[in-house]
């Protein structure tokens, strides 16, 4: 990793340095694992208590945290330590491995495909008929882009990604390993004679906006008709499933193992915690937040914070949980009162 002085780091994060500016930083780590020469971060006063025991040389500190660096150590005060940490991690991040520019000899590119200037097509990639690969795209090993799909400029597709026919990715999209864009939606109906299931053709597409990031192993199904849509700037974690004809707005965050059933509509700026499930055809309003493992079986109002299964207003759900825990004691009290009255 590269090394930087704490003074250089403070300048980069636009923070206020408390302590000597010449201290050399060579790594980033959490407070309880950091050693001399590491920088860490402290987001609140609760974590500030660990500073005295930590061996870190320096730390980013959020506004409002009451802390002094101590001898031979330094603090960089910033508005938000988590945001500052993102800048610091970029400073220490090694260059990501990328295939060389051009088409690798082992890749298969159809003669009708259009590959933009400076694009890099890695080993084992398969590019189908009529595909468009934008300028500056990076396709790592064994990516498959099927017929008539469009990959916009500046996209990066990691090993094993599959983009099905006719799907469209905007500019600057990042798709991590083994994600699948545009597989058939899960559409079946019982056969008229009840002999089995009839598969419903899925003839729609997937349209992904600009600056979207999709995690490893995520699956975004094509629409039954029209398109499954992911809005600009949305970030989707590993192992999420977005079913056919879902529409996700701009700037949303979906944590790992979220599952959206068919035709779910998610507004702009929505935050969805891990393992949340949303039943088909419901709407999650703009700015709503769904806590981890929530099970949504109705529309969620804009700006609401819901929790539980079935999901409901967070405060109401927590009150119900507290009341439920008190129920055994309440029953004992009632039985005792009933016995005394008898």
To the query of whether residue 244 is one of the catalytic residues in this protein, the response is yes
What one-character-per-residue DSSP string does 81-145 give? Answer: HHHHHHHHHHHHPPPPP-PPSEE-TT-EE-TT-EE-TT-EE-TT-EE-TT-EE-TT-EE-TT-EE
Query: Which of 4, 22, 244, 281 does the annotation list as catalytic?
Result: 244
β-bridge pairing 16-18 and 74-78: antiparallel
DSSP bridge partners of 28: 39
DSSP bridge partners of 242: 220, 260
Q: In what order do the strands lie in the sheet with 114-115?
A: 114-115, 132-133, 150-151, 168-169, 205-208, 227-230, 247-248, 265-266, 283-284
Tokens of 302: 């804009």
What one-character-per-residue DSSP string does 154-223 give? Answer: T-EE-TT-EE-TT-EE-TT-EE-TT-EEEEPP--EEE-TTSSSEEEPP---EEEE-TT-EE-TT-EEEPP
Q: Which residue is associated with the tokens 């419903």?
A: 200
What's 301-325 look like in SS3? CCCCEEECCCCEEHHHHHHHHHHHH
**What letter would DSSP give residue 300?**
B
In angstroms, rounded to a whole number, what is the distance separating the alpha carbons of residues 339 and 123? 80
Tokens of 211: 């600056």
Catalytic sites, residue numbers? 244
């Amino acid at each position: 990793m590269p090394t930087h002085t704490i003074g250089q780091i403070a300048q980069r994060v636009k923070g206020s340095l408390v302590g000597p500016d010449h201290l050399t930083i060579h790594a980033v780590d959490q407070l309880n694992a950091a050693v001399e020469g590491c920088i860490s971060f402290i987001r609140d006063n609760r974590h500030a208590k660990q500073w005295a025991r930590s061996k870190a040389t320096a730390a980013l500190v959020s506004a409002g945290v009451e802390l002094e660096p101590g001898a031979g150590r330094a603090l960089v005060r910033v508005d938000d330590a988590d945001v500052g940490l993102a800048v610091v991690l970029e400073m220490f991040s090694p260059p990501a491995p990328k295939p060389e520019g051009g088409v690798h000899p082992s890749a298969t590119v159809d003669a009708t495909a259009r590959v933009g200037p400076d694009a890099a097509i890695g080993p084992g990639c398969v590019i189908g008929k009529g595909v468009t690969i934008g300028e500056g795209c990076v396709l790592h090993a064994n990516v498959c882009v099927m017929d008539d799909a469009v990959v916009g400029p500046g996209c990066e597709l990691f090993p094993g990604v599959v983009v099905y026919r006719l799907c469209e990715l905007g500019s600057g999209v990042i798709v991590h390993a083994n994600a699948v864009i545009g597989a058939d939606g899960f559409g079946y109906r019982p056969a008229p004679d009840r002999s089995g299931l009839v598969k419903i053709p899925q003839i729609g597409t997937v349209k992904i906006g600009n600056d979207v990031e999709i995690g490893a192993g995520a699956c975004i199904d094509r629409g039954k008709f029209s398109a499954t849509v992911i809005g600009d700037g949305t970030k989707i974690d590993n192992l999420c499933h977005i079913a056919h004809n879902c529409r996700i707005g701009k700037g949303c965050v979906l944590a790992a193992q979220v599952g959206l059933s068919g035709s779910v509509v998610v507004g702009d700026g929505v935050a969805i915690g891990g393992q949340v499930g949303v039943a088909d055809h419901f709407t999650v309003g703009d700015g709503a937040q769904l806590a981890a493992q929530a099970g949504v079986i109705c529309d969620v109002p804009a700006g609401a914070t819901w929790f539980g299964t079935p999901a409901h207003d967070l405060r109401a759900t927590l009150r119900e949980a507290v009341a439920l825990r008190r129920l055994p004691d309440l029953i004992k009290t009632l039985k005792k009162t009933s016995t005394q009255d008898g």
